[in-house]
């Protein structure tokens, strides 16, 4: 089972590469950004609270995003053999699906989120295979996000000050997550600038290396 964390600053290309990886490896896509935006569209209380923070370029609370991921993992218990050992769901899940695992896109974004994810996956008898970090400089990030803002309608992509704030949040709260995975020997950094297809091929090569010999 392949459980991949796709990591990088806002606009690094996590969403872009996730779409391709999902198709190639038949993964369940868990994007906390998408989950939060769907709560905003649905007008839930959680969505209203999240929007206030996202519109300021700030991270949403750990409690909220961990809760969303927990819910989604439970909902996808049949993926691979993620149901807890000894449960009927585990027996049914084995070989029951061709889905190859999970891709975590934009999560974890803080060390407490990374710790919580490890605990959740342990509960489901699985673990992160590797974390691939897309490295892109601040100037290119700003350029990409402002361009996306012309068409995406996302308020957090339309203002340069806001984009800089998101990058500052990333540098202070999210960057340490790379050390967390590095200490587990699971951190791989790749150049996120250049042709989307070429970046995708590099990621696939790293997945291949990370999964050789793994169960």
Contact residues for ligand B4P, defined by CB under 6 A: 8, 10-16, 32-33, 36, 53-54, 59-60, 65, 106-107, 109, 113, 144, 148, 156, 166, 194, 196, 199
User: Which lies closer to ligand B4P via its Cβ, residue 96 or residue 146?
Assistant: 146
Q: Cα torsion for 78, 72, 214, 105, to the nearest 10°?
A: 140
Are the C-beta atoms of 191 and 20 separated by less than 8 Å?
no
Task: Tell me the closest approach of the beta carbon of residue 34 to ligand B4P, in angstroms.
Answer: 6
If you count them, how many residues does the chain have?
Answer: 215
**Rounded least distance, CB 59 to ligand B4P, Å:** 4
| Greatest Cα pair distance in the chain | 52
Q: Which is nearer to ligand B4P, 3 or 93 (CB)?
A: 3
**Nearest distance from residue 99's CB to ligand B4P, in Å?**
22
DSSP 26-81: TEEEEEHHHHHHHHHHHT-HHHHHHHHHHTTTPPPPHHHHHHHHHHHHHHTTTSTT
The minimum distance between CB 81 and ligand B4P, in angstroms, equals: 25
Residue nearest to ligand B4P (CB): 33
Of 93 and 130, CB closest to ligand B4P: 130
Instruction: Name the minimum Å distance from CB 9 to ligand B4P.
Output: 7
194, two tokens: 């250049």
By beta-carbon proximity to ligand B4P, the closer residue of 196 and 214 is: 196
CA pair distance 99, 1, nearest whole angstrom: 9
């Amino acid at each position: 089972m392949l459980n991949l964390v796709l990591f990088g600053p806002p606009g690094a290309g996590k969403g872009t590469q996730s779409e391709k990886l999902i198709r190639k490896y038949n993964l369940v896509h868990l994007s906390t950004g998408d989950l939060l935006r769907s709560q905003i569209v649905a007008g839930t209380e959680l969505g209203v609270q999240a929007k206030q923070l996202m519109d300021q370029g700030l991270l949403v609370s750990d409690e909220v995003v961990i809760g969303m991921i927990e819910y989604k993992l439970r909902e996808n218990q049949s993926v691979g053999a993620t149901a807890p050992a000894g449960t009927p769901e585990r027996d049914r899940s084995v070989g029951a699906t061709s889905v190859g695992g999970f891709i975590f896109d934009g999560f974890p974004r803080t060390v407490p989120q990374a710790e919580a994810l490890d605990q959740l996956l342990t509960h489901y008898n699985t673990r992160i295979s590797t974390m691939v970090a897309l490295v892109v400089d601040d100037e290119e990030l700003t350029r990409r996000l402002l361009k996306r803002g012309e068409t995406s309608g996302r308020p957090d992509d339309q203002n340069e000050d806001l984009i800089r704030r998101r990058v500052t949040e990333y540098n202070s709260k999210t960057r340490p997550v790379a050390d967390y995975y590095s200490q587990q020997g699971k951190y791989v950094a790749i150049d996120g600038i250049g042709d989307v297809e070429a970046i995708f091929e590099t990621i696939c090569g790293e997945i291949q290396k990370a999964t050789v010999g793994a169960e």
